[in-house]
Chains A and B, each alone.
Chain A
Amino acid sequence: DAGVTQTPRHEVAEKGQTIILKCEPVSGHNDLFWYRQTKIQGLELLSYFRSKSLMEDGGAFKDRFKAEMLNSSFSTLKIQPTEPKDSAVYLCASSLRGSQNTLYFGAGTRLSVL
């Protein structure tokens, strides 16, 4: 089975730009997560979808971050407008309901905002 696929692997943006990160979960998984990873804050939850319904929207990330599940096998994370403090690795993960909540992560997208 293919794992979680994230594209692009690297993204460089100017401050104020709009960027869209993409994620394809493991086929058949019901739950999808977006995390931000930095050395200082570690792993921070941005969004959580269960069967395409938004369950968690990450509180502090609401204003400029928007995740969507366009169908059960594709999700996007839009950051608009980008700021230098958004520079981080963005990780997508999926899980199969009934798997005791085991997450399968993609390799991540490294975003640099200049």
Chain B
Amino acid sequence: GDSVTQTEGPVTLSEGTSLTVNCSYETKQYPTLFWYVQYPGEGPQLLFKVPKANEKGSSRGFEATYNKEATSFHLQKASVQESDSAVYYCALSAPSSSGSWQLIFGSGTQLTVMP
């Protein structure tokens, strides 16, 4: 079945360093890929999405490229800030067995950025 695997957390970085959160996916469909971010006490919110292979998505200094050949969608940021501390979820949307669709989330990666 469809699945998403991402970097096991927690990840702790110092402000100003670079971030990579790995995300790999499995599906026989042509999914849209997403990164969501969840701050404490809030629900997940969309960071960005990429519906087409070989395209890049970005927001707030974060970016990821939809690599269909490698089935990857790694999240990167060149210089993290303390305010980036949150949980990051990789996800894909794909048709479900009921004929509708489903959003499949990875397990989440907790990022803590130290000042």
Contacts and interface: CB of A to CB of B under 8 A. Distances in A.
Interface string A97-113: 00011111111100000
Contacts of B107: 42
Contacts of A43: 44, 89, 105, 108
A104 B55 CA distance: 23
A55 interface: yes
A97 B51 CA distance: 15
Nearest to B98: A55
Contacts of B93: 100-101
Nearest to B110: A39
B43 A105 contact: yes
Contacts of A100: 32, 49, 51, 93
A102 B44 CA distance: 11
Interface string A35-76: 000000011010010100001100000000000000000000
Contact of A101 (B42, B101, B105): B101
Nearest to A105: B43
B59 interface: no
Contact of B105 (A42, A102, A104, A107): A42
B37 to A, nearest CB: 11
A104 B36 CA distance: 10
Contacts of B96: 55-56
A102 B49 contact: yes
Query: By CB atoms of chain B within 10 A, which of A50, A91, A93, A102 has the most?
Result: A102
A93 B91 CA distance: 15
B100 A55 contact: yes
Interface in B65-104: 89, 93, 96, 98, 100-103
Nearest to A54: B98
Given A91-B43, A103-B103, A108-B43, A42 B108 contact: yes
B43 A56 contact: no
5 contacts: A45-B102, A48-B102, A93-B43, A101-B93, A107-B41
